Structure 1
Amino acid sequence: MNEHPLTLNAPDGHTITGTVFIPAEPAGILVISHGMAEHGDRYRALAEWLSQRDMVVVTFHHRGHGPGWPSESLGHYADQNGWARVVADLHRVVQHSRSQFPGLPLHLLGHSMGSFIAQSYAQKHGDSLATLILSATNRIDRGQLFASRALVGLIRLVRGKRHRSRLVTRMTFEQFNRQFRPNRTGSDWLSRDQEQVDRYISDPLCGFACTVGLWWDFIGGMLGISPSAWRKDLPVHLFSGTADPVGEMGRGVRQHFQTIREAGVQSVTLRLFEGGRHEMLNETNRYEVWEYLHSLCFAPDSSVTAAHPEMSPRTQAIID
């Protein structure tokens, strides 16, 4: 396996950084879109494991995440058009990856916040992808999202885009964690693996409060997601834990799965891992999850294109 730094320049002067893990005999590409208040380097162990199994893996840091950001910009996409910029950054990473490894199928894995960025990307650039894989995502509850954005918008108006709201933190990360009381830490909701939780807590580039500007952009981006506008022959795979509060303990993920099916997407699957919390890739059974992820990338239908209209719809839900 070879490992190379990734450095790409966005039109507005932002520098996208990350890492490319290259196996001896590449058979596919996996681009990873990470979650909120974390960074791409947290996926190194997974990337190394996959690269030993013929997968090129590209990890990178979304705007406002990862090393190099001043404290006032950590957890902030941009002062203007933040969501459009993070989706455009992902497009630049995908296009660069395709150019470096022409002819290989490219799979996109989005986790949590990154799953919604990935869905926005697929809605706009679905032809670039062989497979869309969504980890720890949730349904698009428009009523709740409109209410949340109204609150965030009010705080943003009064306190400014870069304000970090204690109220928003209580309503999100702290609310997620309260469902696992008595709590050992403030991040128990992430995983049953205490070592993984402690690594997250000790990482200075994890667990920070995001700005209301980011939350405004994020919620607005979620409201723009519409599976009916997706490429109908794009294979979509969802996986989550039944104890993930972001996915409403499996209920919200099930609803999103059903929405995607009803939108006419021909191949969509859901797998719920019993007892798993938010980060299934860092859970106590993570190697089982890694094997499952690997199987999705090399599944027979992961390269379905419009050239195969004869393929019948495939829908599946599995609960371990």
Structure 2
Amino acid sequence: MAEAREHVLTGTRGSITVREWPAARPRYVALLVHGYGEHIGRYEEVAGVLVAHGAAVYGPDHAGHGKSAGERVLIEDFEDVVTDVHAVAELARSAHPDLPVVMIGHSMGGLIAARYAQRHQDGLTALVLSGPVIGDWELPRRLLALDEIPDTPISPAALSRDPAVGAAYAADPLVWHGPMKRPTVEAFVRTLETVAKSGDVGSLPVLWIHGDDDRLVALAGSRPGVEQLAGTGLTERIHPGARHEVFNETNKAEVFADVTRFLDGVLAR
């Protein structure tokens, strides 16, 4: 795989750092949308799989995350983050104007990707949601009911059955290890409501991947949101025993095959 490049874009609330993983002769563009508190650098292996499959891959660090500007993990309006991701899509399209574009969003990135698909459906060929924050996610309501949000970081063990994944996460200086911030939690609630009332994505093919032992974003909570968002083209793959980060799970080869098989079917239409 060719060495990744970095771009810096002007985002809605400061500079946004974007990573590009180029492909020699790409047949599609893949946009990666990362989750809460992390950064796009954690998707190196996912990008490698996609590049080998024929994708030119792009992904931003969201505002307040990774190498991008902004107070850490502060997101006051997810509509701004969707706008930033659209700027990344435009960067990719300027380099590859004739290629189909697919979006892959994990966790909070699944919420952002879902809203992106509602706003920019015509610009996408497929949508992949991994452990998406969508539907009935009870954590924000529980946190907002408290006078003070506790400083309880995400448990590394909740990410994957592979302990090396949790250890790397805990040691990563670009990962946020502190408490959630109230404006961000409030923005989650608003955007969950916005996605729920903004309609489905029609015939856009959607792949939903989830671990049935996801302790951060419960499978049962995501299901109604995914089913409401997806129109006529939903494919689901639920992995027994898998935790939140299915792309970092012990059966990740199976998960990657889910994605590439799905995309092959979409791109062949």
Q: Encode CA deviations 1:169-200: one digit per residue, 9 max, x unaligned.
A: 48xx4xxxxxxxxxxxx321100001111000
Corresponding position: 1:75 with 2:101: no
User: Taking structure 1 as reference, are residues 147 and 24 closer, same or farther at Cα in structure 2, changes over 3 Å only?
Assistant: closer
**1:201–1:207 contact (8 Å) kept in structure 2:** no
**1:75–1:208 contact (8 Å) kept in structure 2:** no
- Distance in structure 1 (CA, Å) of the matches to 2:56 and 2:68: 25
The offset of 1:104, in angstroms, is: 0.9
Corresponding position: 1:8 with 2:9: yes
1:317 is matched with which residue? Answer: none
- Distance in structure 2 (CA, Å) of the matches to 1:247 and 1:75: 18
1:31 is matched with which residue? Answer: 31
Matches within 5 A, 1:92-111: 92-111=87-106
- Distance in structure 1 (CA, Å) of the matches to 2:68 and 2:17: 10
Q: For 2:145, give the aligned amino acid.
A: L
1:64 is matched with which residue? Answer: 64
**1:41–1:60 contact (8 Å) kept in structure 2:** no
The offset of 1:139, in angstroms, is: 4.5
TM-score with structure 2 length normalisation? 0.89
Match for residue 175 of structure 2 among 206, 212, 215: 206
**1:200–1:207 contact (8 Å) kept in structure 2:** no
**1:137–1:246 contact (8 Å) kept in structure 2:** no
SS of structure 1 residue aligned to 2:195: coil
Corresponding position: 1:287 with 2:257: no
Corresponding position: 1:54 with 2:54: yes
Q: Give the aligned CA root-mean-square deviation in angstroms.
A: 2.4
Q: For 2:184, give the aligned amino acid.
A: L
- Distance in structure 1 (CA, Å) of the matches to 2:201 and 2:209: 20
Q: Which stretch of the first structure deviates more once superposed, 49-58 or 188-197?
A: 49-58
Q: Encode CA deviations 1:84-133: one digit per residue, 9 max, x unaligned.
A: 21111011111221221111110011100010011111111111111111
1:151 is matched with which residue? Answer: 145
The offset of 1:82, in angstroms, is: 2.6
1:177 is matched with which residue? Answer: none
The offset of 1:303, in angstroms, is: 7.7
User: Taking structure 1 as reference, are residues 276 and 147 closer, same or farther at Cα in structure 2, changes over 3 Å only?
Assistant: closer
SS of structure 2 residue aligned to 1:17: strand
Q: Which stretch of the first structure deviates more once superposed, 111-120 or 209-218?
A: 209-218
User: Taking structure 1 as reference, are residues 139 and 33 closer, same or farther at Cα in structure 2, changes over 3 Å only?
Assistant: closer
Q: Which stretch of the first structure deviates more once superposed, 197-206 or 239-248?
A: 239-248
Matches within 5 A, 1:237-316: 237-248=207-218, 250-260=219-229, 265-299=231-265, 301=266
Q: For 1:74, give the aligned amino acid.
A: R
**1:36–1:114 contact (8 Å) kept in structure 2:** yes
- Distance in structure 1 (CA, Å) of the matches to 2:201 and 2:229: 11
User: Taking structure 1 as reference, are residues 274 and 61 closer, same or farther at Cα in structure 2, changes over 3 Å only?
Assistant: same
**2:110–2:134 contact (8 Å) kept in structure 1:** no
Corresponding position: 1:18 with 2:12: no
- Distance in structure 2 (CA, Å) of the matches to 1:222 and 1:254: 13
1:121 is matched with which residue? Answer: 116
Q: Which stretch of the first structure deviates more once superposed, 42-51 or 61-70?
A: 61-70
The offset of 1:146, in angstroms, is: 8.2
Q: For 2:120, give the aligned amino acid.
A: H
**1:145–1:219 contact (8 Å) kept in structure 2:** no
Corresponding position: 1:40 with 2:24: no
Q: Any stretches of 5+ residues in structure 2 without a counterpart?
A: none
Question: Taking every aligned residue pair, what percent have the same amino acid on both sides?
Answer: 29
Match for residue 107 of structure 2 among 112, 126, 130: 112
TM-score with structure 1 length normalisation? 0.76
